[in-house]
Amino acid sequence: MKPNNLKTKIFLDSGDPKETEEIKNLLGFLDGQTTNPSLIAKNPDALGKKFSKEEIASFYKDVVEKVNSIIPEGSISIEVYADKDSTSDVLLEEGRKMFSWIPNAHIKYPITKAGLEAAEKSVKEGIRLNMTLCFSQEQAAAVYSATSGGGNTYVSPFAGRWDDKGFNGMDLIKNILKMYENGDGHVKVLAASIRNMDHFLCSLAMGADIITAPFKILKEWADNGMQIPGPDYVYPKGELKEIPYQEISLDKPWQEYEILHEMTDAGLEKFSTDWNNLIA
């Protein structure tokens, strides 16, 4: 049963519908699910197999249709294939196609020049979005600007990957939430790359709009009684360095923000490599 004082939406980060079903049963609810090429590659039915491009697209569609049948009222994020050479036209074409797969899709584009161009056009067509691989406030500001007037957009800051670099990834989520307080609310902050229970509880404590977490984290939360941290919660950041808050205006054209980021490039390369490894 969903806790009465839970305001944050809870998503599962997975490419396996069996996990969807189990987590929904464990929690008694599930607000949505995020998928990406790496997660689809880990699906038990994909391990050790090779597909044609048509077959892997069909496999991905089958996965999200199964997830949709389990959480028909939830949001399901579907990621468009993208690499450093992808154009906005190609991303938009794939986004339109994937958006038609299920009635509750959010299409994931990377926060790159091509991704933001595709996003700007997508929101005008009523396509719901999840802008992924966010590693800076400037990128989040660009997402806000590119999708203005469209509504129903998520931005996914990746906490764990900043931790890997020795910085407190939870600061990025906190900073974007603070920056968006000056906005109109059309972009929701989806805390991603959640690696442990401290990440999860901190995201709840700071009021993230949405948290997406892997199966093991959500199971641990369920096993511990789905606790909601109180006002006295303190995140144990240890030796992680601070990511300082930046005063950034949200009213500039998205092209004027600094969107290039080496961690976005690295994430894009990983997703595309995992996807290409599935193709014969």
Q: Residues 91, 109: contact at Cβ < 8 Å? A: yes
Other beta carbons within 10 Å of 14: 26
Phi, psi at residue 146, to the nearest 5°?
-65, -30
Q: Residues 56, 279: contact at Cβ < 8 Å? A: yes
Phi, psi at residue 174, to the nearest 5°?
-60, -45
Question: Rounded CA gap, 62 and 36, in Å?
Answer: 14
Q: Residues 156, 187: contact at Cβ < 8 Å? A: no
Phi and psi based region of residue 50 (left: phi greater than 0; alpha: psi -120 to 50; beta: remaining): beta
Question: Rounded CA gap, 248 and 257, in Å?
Answer: 9
Alpha-carbon dihedral 89, 92, 93, 94, rounded to 10 degrees: 130
Q: Residues 66, 17: contact at Cβ < 8 Å? A: yes
Question: Rounded CA gap, 34 and 64, in Å?
Answer: 10
Given the residues 9, 66, 97, 108, the one annotated as active site:
108
For 130-148, b/e burial (b = at least 16 CB within 10 A) is: bbbbbbbbbbbbbbbbbbb
Catalytic-residue membership of 124: no
Q: Which residues are catalytic?
A: 108
